[in-house]
Amino acid sequence: MKLYSLSVLYKGYAKAVLLKAAYDVSSFSFFQRSSVQEFMASTSQLIVECSLKGSKASTKEQEYLCHVYVTNDSLAGVVIADSEYSSWVAFTLLEKVLDEFSKQVDRIDWPVGSPGTSQYAGLDGHLSRYQNPREAHPMTKVQAELDETKIILQNTTESLLERGGKLDDLVSKSEALGIQFKAFYKTARKQNSCCVIM
């Protein structure tokens, strides 16, 4: 699971305005990083322009999953992650970031803002903290623990069923041995009765 981009934008009438963004392009080669970052910025703007106010959506773009949330007051957030990243955690992150941004940056500055002028410094921290959703969000951690417990219980149940099958085999074998023992005992008694020593 990997988060690549976290952006805050303003959905204007004509186009979306990038207000602030944070990127983690460390997994790409040095020469690709600037073009990947430009791709993520333009993709974020395009997705916000195509989204309706008051909506949440997830879109697949190449091997990336883009999660967008546009509030009713035209403030938008975009998370670009790999396909394994939980959409639920991504939307929780977007709600948190947009709430903090709207409290720290005046609404008047949104239509004319830019990454250099927006006075919000929380994106980099959120991007690094949410790289591991289990650590960042308590419900995700609980869900992961529940999944692990479920797997352990399934394995335990399977081993018990295997043991039950083995026990059934042992019982049938012991019954067969019991029958063979009775036949052996009867034969031995007959043999011993012929060889009585006086």
Instruction: Report the DSSP beta bridge partners of residue 61.
Output: 64
Work out the pLDDT band at 99, boundaries 50, 70, 90. very high
Burial class from Cβ neighbours inside 10 Å (0-12, 13-18, 19+) for residue 94 reads buried
Of the pLDDT bands very low, low, confident and very high (cuts 50, 70, 90), residue 69 is very high
Q: 6: helix, coil or strand?
A: strand
Q: Which residue has the tokens 């322009």?
A: 49
Which overall architecture, per CATH, does domain 3-164 show? 2-Layer Sandwich (3.30)
Query: H/E element holding 45?
Result: helix 33-50
In this prediction, residue 163 carries a pLDDT of 67
Chain centroid to Cα 144, Å, comes to 9
Q: What is the pTM of this model?
A: 0.66
CB 13 within 8 A of CB 114: no
Adjacent-strand bridge partners of 59: 66
Note the pLDDT tens digit of each residue in 105-123: 888 888 887 777 777 888 8
pLDDT exceeds cutoff 60 at 198? no
Residues 113 and 19 sit within 8 Å (Cβ to Cβ) = yes
For residue 7 the two structure tokens come to: 């952006």
Domains of the chain: which residue ranges?
3-164
